[in-house]
């Protein structure tokens, strides 16, 4: 099973099958018949500073600044991060939290640009047509500067993914053109219309990775895309490097691990990445963006977005600038139909419902789905699990959804991880086939985010413990130093004490008439006498003070007295 015979250019390739999966009505013809239309520039763009996994970018423009198309407006912070670019020219009118495409419906920091309609481009970095003669690091740097992230949905910074490290060299690059989710057709249109660009991007990535071959996996429900891609490969003369493979349509074949299984028969180890077994998967959109960045110097400021579902008048694909509000897309599709019931971002299986279309298009947003209630019927309340096991039969990750469900429902986060919760890709197959309509994926998402939150809390607690320990150590050190200073003072005291002792001795000597102040008396006795005398004087002083202070009952003066008065005044 591990040995894969590779025949360059052969169309008869052995394919494997992943476990489970579902044949879904694909609903692709709703939106894939027309070419992607460029959307007119909206008057205002809302560009989130975090459109990738990792540290958010930091805004490097100020309110009131004029920006040009392609200008960096957010700088990456840290190694796993990506810059954000202005998608059109205009004036920055605000940098503030706005609603972003996220299942929470929460706001996140965004740069708001009022477009001037001129779309003047900033000075772009020079194109690198001779990428074959360019070092991989320089190309990776260009990809990072261009803000390219995985456009299949995970939005992981592409430059980081393309640098898998020395110990696991990537042999095979896999390009994901499966697009297995129903309704979504943006990758289909992209492959039909920009196959040559995608192949250029693949070629660049092969050069960066120094990989031997590339497999492009496309589901067989997209024959036009397969034909276009094959033609582009032969036109570029890259048949020996790149093979376009037609794979059977079966949801979720576009999952990273599932596609690897179909094309190579290999299994990615649990909790590990494909680079571990010498593979790397990138989306076709990412390949296109890489070609744009390297061959044209253009940053990632636009993408294809599908607007589909029977809840919009005219479903189709659009070429959209990042930051365009989803409402503008829906309006360009003819607006909502009266029976539109739900708005979903992403596909119907893995997407999430949003309350409002006042959210911007981001780098990883591939579909705006307006569904009617007939398309997404209310499944009704969840019934008890009848242990039919159909969820386990369809699970493409070969998990035990039922066990995961029990433990997630019991909030037993340790147990649910024992059943490999984090290998769940949230494809939704289990919930779809569940005859009891149990929202299984929601339980898994709850358990995942709850586990992450616990982990964060644990790390925060450990951090606080260290800081507390450091503070305690510092206080102890200061106390030791104070003691040491006191001891030093005491050690320095005998010299004075002798002098004081001599005086005291003289006084006592005068009273008692004994011979005093002479060098015959031992120093020890002198010192003792001095201490005794000092103690007596101190006791007398204390008594006197107590007698005078008691009626007044005033507290002893402290170091903070002045500040307290000060505070009192302010109050």
Partner 1 sequence: MLIPIAAIAALASLFGLLLGYSAIRFRVEGDPIADQIDALLPQSQCGQCGYPGCRPYAEAVAAGEAEINGCAPGGEATMLALADLLGREPVEVDAQAAPPAMVAIVDEQACIGCTKCLQACPVDAIVGAAKQLHGIIASECTGCGLCIDPCPVDCIHLEPVPETTATWKWPYPVPRPTRQPVNQSANPSGQWQPQAAVPDVGPPDDAHRPAA
Q: Does 94 bind partner 1 (CB under 8 A)?
A: no
60 half-sphere exposure, CB direction, 13 A CA radius: 13
Q: How far is the CB of 349 from partner 1 (least distance, A)?
A: 6
430 is in an annotated binding site: yes
Contact positions with partner 1 (CB under 8 A) in 471-510: 471
391 is in an annotated binding site: yes
* Nearest CA-CA partner of 277 in 157, 175, 169, 425: 169
Q: Does 464 bind partner 1 (CB under 8 A)?
A: yes
Residues near 260 by Cβ (< 8 Å), separated by ≥ 6? 174, 266, 267, 268, 274, 279, 281
In the β-sheet with 213-219, what is the strand arrangement from edge to edge? Answer: 242-247, 213-219, 172-176, 279-283
* Nearest CA-CA partner of 280 in 228, 195, 208, 220: 208
DSSP SS3 for 529: helix
Contact positions with partner 1 (CB under 8 A) in 179-198: 182
Q: How far is the CB of 248 from partner 1 (least distance, A)?
A: 10
Q: Does 137 bind partner 1 (CB under 8 A)?
A: no
DSSP bridge partners of 60? none
Contact positions with partner 1 (CB under 8 A) in 312-371: 341-344, 346-349, 351-355, 371
Q: Are 452 and 276 in contact (CB under 8 A)?
A: no
Contact positions with partner 1 (CB under 8 A) in 250-279: 250
Q: How far is the CB of 540 from partner 1 (least distance, A)?
A: 36
Torsion from C-alpha of 377, 382, 387, 392, nearest 10 degrees:
50
Q: Does 224 bind partner 1 (CB under 8 A)?
A: no
For residues 527 and 505, what is the distance between their CA atoms, to the nearest angstrom? Answer: 10
Q: Does 563 bind partner 1 (CB under 8 A)?
A: yes
214 is in an annotated binding site: no
Q: How many residues belong to the site for partner 1 (CB under 8 A)? A: 79
First to last CA, the chain: 80
Find the part of the chain contacting partner 1 (CB under 8 A) among 127-135, 506-514, 517-525, 559-567: 559-567
Instruction: Tell the burial category of 306 from Cβ atoms under 10 Å away from its Cβ (0-12, 13-18, 19+).
Output: buried
Q: How far is the CB of 344 from partner 1 (least distance, A)?
A: 5
Find the part of the chain contacting partner 1 (CB under 8 A) among 16-24, 239-247, 265-273, 310-318: 16-24
Q: How far is the CB of 126 from partner 1 (least distance, A)?
A: 36
For residues 89 and 70, what is the distance between their CA atoms, to the nearest angstrom? Answer: 8
Contact positions with partner 1 (CB under 8 A) in 147-176: none
Q: Does 550 bind partner 1 (CB under 8 A)?
A: no
388 is in an annotated binding site: yes
Q: How far is the CB of 116 from partner 1 (least distance, A)?
A: 30
Please name the helix (run of DSSP H) or strand (run of DSSP E) that holds residue 344, with its range, or none. Answer: strand 340-345
Member of 433, 521, 533, 534 binding partner 1 (CB under 8 A)? 433
Q: Does 373 bind partner 1 (CB under 8 A)?
A: yes
Contact positions with partner 1 (CB under 8 A) in 34-73: 50
CB atoms within 10 A of CB 336: 18
Nearer to partner 1, 274 or 323 (CB): 323
The DSSP bridge pattern shows strands 316-321 and 367-372 to be unpaired
- Annotated binding-site positions: 385, 388, 391, 395, 424, 427, 430, 434
Q: Which residue ranges are tagged as binding site for [4Fe-4S] cluster?
A: 385, 388, 391, 395, 424, 427, 430, 434
């Amino acid at each position: 099973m591990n040995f894969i015979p590779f025949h360059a250019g052969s169309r008869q390739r052995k394919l494997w099958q992943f476990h489970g999966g579902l044949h879904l009505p694909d609903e692709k013809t709703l939106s894939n018949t027309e070419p992607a239309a460029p959307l007119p520039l909206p008057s205002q763009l809302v560009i989130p500073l975090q459109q990738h996994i990792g540290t958010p970018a930091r805004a490097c423009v100020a309110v009131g600044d004029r920006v040009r198309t392609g200008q960096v407006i957010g700088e990456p912070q840290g190694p796993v991060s990506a810059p954000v670019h202005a998608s059109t020219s205009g004036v920055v009118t605000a940098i503030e939290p706005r609603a972003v495409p996220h299942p929470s419906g929460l706001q996140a920091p965004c740069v708001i640009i009022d477009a001037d309609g001129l779309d003047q481009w900033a000075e772009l970095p020079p194109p690198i047509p001779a990428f074959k003669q360019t070092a991989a690091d320089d190309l990776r740097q260009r990809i990072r500067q261009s803000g390219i992230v995985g456009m299949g949905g995970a939005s992981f910074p592409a430059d980081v993914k393309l640098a898998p490290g020395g110990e696991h060299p990537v042999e095979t690059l896999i390009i994901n053109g499966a697009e297995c989710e129903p309704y979504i057709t943006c990758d289909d249109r992209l492959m039909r219309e920009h196959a040559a660009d995608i192949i250029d991007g693949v070629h660049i990535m092969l050069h960066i990775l120094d990989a031997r071959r590339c497999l492009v996996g496309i589901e067989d429900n997209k024959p036009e895309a397969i034909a276009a891609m094959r033609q582009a490969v032969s036109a570029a003369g890259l048949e020996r490097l790149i093979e376009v493979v037609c794979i059977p349509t079966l949801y979720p074949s576009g999952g990273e691990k599932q596609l690897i299984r179909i094309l190579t028969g290999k299994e990615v180890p649990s909790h590990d990445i494909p680079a571990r077994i010498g593979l790397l998967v990138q989306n076709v959109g990412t390949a296109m963006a890489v070609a744009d960045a390297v061959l044209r110097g253009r940053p990632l400021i636009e993408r294809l977005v599908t607007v589909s579902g029977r809840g919009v008048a005219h479903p189709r694909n659009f070429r959209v600038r990042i930051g365009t509000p989803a409402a503008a897309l829906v309006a360009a599709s003819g607006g909502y139909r009266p029976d539109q019931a739900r708005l979903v971002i992403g596909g119907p299986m893995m997407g999430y419902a949003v309350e409002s279309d006042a959210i911007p298009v981001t780098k990883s947003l591939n579909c705006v789905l307006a569904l009617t209630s007939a398309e997404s019927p209310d499944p009704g309340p969840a019934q008890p699990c009848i242990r039919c096991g159909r969820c386990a039969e369809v699970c493409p990750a070969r998990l035990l959804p039922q066990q995961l469900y029990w433990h997630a429902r019991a909030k037993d986060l340790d147990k649910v991880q024992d059943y490999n919760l984090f290998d769940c890709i949230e494809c939704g197959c289990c919930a779809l086939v569940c005859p009891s309509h149990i929202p299984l994926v929601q339980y898994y998402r709850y358990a995942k985010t709850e586990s992450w939150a616990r982990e964060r809390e644990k790390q925060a607690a450990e951090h606080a413990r260290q800081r507390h320990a450091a503070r305690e150590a510092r206080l102890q050190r200061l106390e030791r130093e104070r003691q040491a200073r006191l001891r030093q003072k005491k050690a320095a005291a005998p010299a004075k004490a002798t002098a004081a002792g001599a005086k005291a001795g003289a006084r006592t000597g005068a009273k008692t008439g004994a011979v005093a102040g002479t060098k015959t008396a031992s120093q020890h006795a002198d010192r003792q006498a001095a201490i005794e005398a000092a103690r007596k004087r101190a006791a007398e002083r204390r008594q006197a003070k107590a007698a005078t202070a008691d009626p007044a009952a005033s507290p002893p003066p402290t170091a903070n007295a002045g500040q307290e008065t000060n505070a009192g005044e302010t109050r």
